């Protein structure tokens, strides 16, 4: 059994890691930590774990000491020193935050206001979106686990952009997220009276996930890609829906697009390409590590539309982190993640 630890176990992503890892056949939760609830049982914080998991939240050092694989579910700016400590002890560090996602320190300074503490360690880190970078993830000790928007948008567009079927200029990623994406801390924006029966965009064309999506799409296309990214807040708990728009290149047919997607995602367990005429829906991926993708063409305007749906807490956070752990540890990639979404 792999001994795993969770730093930040009482946040939404951390609690989801606990839920999923409790059912993993090859992993055992060795320790969990929480700054806000140190000394308390996780079952006192989340009553759904009562009598199923009564582990006491310790400090981060105890988690590192007791674990072989450490998951950090922390806000940006808090993972770099922990990653260095784990790396020096030859332990695997999987960061659900943003500290290792961007390759450019200048972009990290611009969008997050921080600096790289250990530049060499950043060179050792790998971006953990398995469907694209699986071979690079194997054998690495520091994994930058992508978040929700930065997973669903590239997955929607990858086959089209990698095969040169769409223009790389003028791409629009129009995304909607459930409120759990904002984290467990309460703010005016995610307060129930503000959310209920409402729907609005936020950080329009200025969200810090923009350069991360551009980084992935640029790698896939082989050229510099700039996008317009507009996130919206949905009054639901879970789910990310990305509706991505791009200009079709001249002469591209619907058959070419369909074939490109079928071949690109052939054998990918967690990617479900929907039949023509169906549309991806967050309802159909809830609690699962699946990404549903539907593709559409508007030949009247020469526009390609790709829609992807994920559960932001699973494929957009904890599930993908476990998928990365499985790869690094040489396990079957689907271990602990063959979760069937509920029908209603």
Tokens of 222: 């082989």
**Residue 321 sits in the same domain as residue 207:** no
Render pLDDT for 21-39 as a digit per residue (tens, 0 to 9): 999 999 999 999 999 999 9
What's residue 183's pLDDT? Answer: 79
Question: Is the residue at 75 inside a domain?
Answer: yes
Structure confidence at residue 53 as a pLDDT band (50, 70, 90):
very high
Question: Is the residue at 340 inside a domain?
Answer: no
Question: Is the residue at 344 inside a domain?
Answer: no
**Residue 262 sits in the same domain as residue 206:** yes
Task: Supply the CATH number for residue 32's domain.
Answer: 3.40.50.720
Question: Is the residue at 339 inside a domain?
Answer: no
Across the chain, mean pLDDT equals 96
Number of domains observed in the structure of the chain = 2
Q: Write the DSSP string, 188-227.
A: GGGSHHHHTT--EE-STTT-TTHHHHHHHHHHHHTS---E
**Residue 110 sits in the same domain as residue 235:** no
Residue 247 has pLDDT above 70, yes or no: yes
Tokens of 291: 């990404």
**Residue 285 sits in the same domain as residue 271:** yes
**Residue 238 sits in the same domain as residue 293:** yes
**Residue 264 sits in the same domain as residue 239:** yes
Question: Is the residue at 342 inside a domain?
Answer: no
Question: Is the residue at 185 inside a domain?
Answer: yes
**Residue 192 sits in the same domain as residue 47:** no
DSSP letter at 253 equals: -
Structure confidence at residue 154 as a pLDDT band (50, 70, 90):
very high
Residue 186 has pLDDT above 70, yes or no: no
- Rounded mean pLDDT of 246-269? 98
Task: Supply the CATH number for residue 172's domain.
Answer: 3.30.360.10
**Residue 130 sits in the same domain as residue 243:** no
Yes or no: say if 154 and 220 are a contact pair by the CB < 8 Å rule.
yes
Residue 189 has pLDDT above 80, yes or no: no
**Residue 159 sits in the same domain as residue 299:** yes
Determine what percent of the chain is predicted with pLDDT higher than 70: 100
Query: Of 57, 86, 148, 175, which one is the catalytic site residue?
Result: 148
What's residue 195's pLDDT? Answer: 84
Tokens of 199: 């729907």
Residue 233 has pLDDT above 90, yes or no: yes
**Residue 121 sits in the same domain as residue 159:** no
245 membership: H or E segment, kind and range = strand 240-247
Sort strands 227-233 and 27-33 into parallel, antiparallel or unpaired.
unpaired
- Token look-up 């050229």 returns 223
| Count of alpha carbons within 13 angstroms of residue 43, beta-carbon side | 7
Report pTM.
0.96
Question: Is the residue at 336 inside a domain?
Answer: no
Nearest to 4 by CA among 130, 12, 25: 25
* Domain containing residue 111: 2-146+315-328
Render pLDDT for 130-141 as a digit per residue (tens, 0 to 9): 999 999 999 999
Render pLDDT for 274-294 as a digit per residue (tens, 0 to 9): 999 999 999 999 999 999 999
**Residue 80 sits in the same domain as residue 201:** no
As a whole number of angstroms, the distance between CA 62 and CA 206 comes to: 38
**Residue 153 sits in the same domain as residue 121:** no
As a whole number of angstroms, the distance between CA 88 and CA 28 comes to: 22
Out of 92-96, 149-153, 204-208, least confident range: 204-208
Listed in sequence order, the residues at least 6 apart from 75 whose beta carbon sits closer than 8 Å to its beta carbon are 97, 183
What's residue 57's pLDDT? Answer: 98
As a whole number of angstroms, the distance between CA 180 and CA 190 comes to: 9
Render pLDDT for 83-100 as a digit per residue (tens, 0 to 9): 999 999 999 999 999 999
> Known catalytic residue: 148?
yes
Question: Is the residue at 341 inside a domain?
Answer: no
Residue 185 has pLDDT above 90, yes or no: no
- Rounded mean pLDDT of 194-218? 94
Sort strands 240-247 and 200-201 into parallel, antiparallel or unpaired.
unpaired
């Amino acid at each position: 059994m792999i001994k795993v630890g969770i730093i930040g176990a009482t946040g939404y992503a951390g609690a989801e890691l606990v839920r999923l890892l409790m059912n993993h056949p090859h992993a055992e939760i060795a320790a969990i930590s929480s700054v806000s609830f140190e000394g308390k049982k996780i079952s006192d914080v989340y009553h759904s774990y009562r009598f199923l998991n009564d582990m006491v939240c310790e400090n981060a050092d105890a988690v590192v000491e007791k674990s072989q694989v450490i998951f950090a579910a922390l806000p940006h700016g808090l993972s770099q020193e922990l990653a260095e400590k784990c790396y020096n002890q030859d332990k695997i560090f999987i960061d659900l935050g943003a500290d290792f996602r961007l390759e450019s320190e200048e972009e990290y300074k611009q969008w997050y206001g921080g600096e790289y503490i250990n530049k060499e360690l950043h060179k050792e880190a790998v971006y953990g979106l398995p469907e694209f970078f699986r071979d690079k993830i194997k054998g690495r000790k520091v994994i930058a686990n992508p978040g929700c928007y930065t997973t669903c948008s590239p997955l929607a567009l990858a086959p089209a952009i990698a095969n040169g079927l769409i223009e790389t200029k003028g791409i629009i990623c129009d995304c909607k997220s459930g409120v759990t994406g904002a984290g467990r801390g309460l703010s005016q924006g995610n307060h129930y009276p503000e959310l209920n029966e409402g729907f609005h965009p936020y950080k329009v064309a200025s969200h810090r996930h923009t350069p991360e999506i551009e980084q992935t799409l640029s790698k896939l296309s082989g050229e510099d890609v700039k996008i317009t990214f507009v996130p919206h807040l949905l009054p639901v708990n879970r789910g990310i829906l990305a509706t991505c728009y791009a200009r079709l290149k001249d002469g591209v047919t619907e058959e070419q697009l369909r074939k490109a997607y079928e071949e690109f995602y052939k054998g990918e367990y967690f990617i479900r390409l929907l039949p023509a005429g169906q549309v991806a829906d967050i309802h159909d991926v809830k609690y699962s590590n699946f990404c549903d993708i539907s593709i559409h063409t508007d030949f009247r305007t020469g526009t390609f539309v790709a829609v992807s749906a994920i559960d932001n807490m699973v494929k957009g956070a904890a599930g993908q982190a476990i998928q990365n752990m499985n790869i690094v540890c040489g396990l079957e990639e689907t271990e602990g993640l063959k979760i069937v979404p509920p029908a209603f």
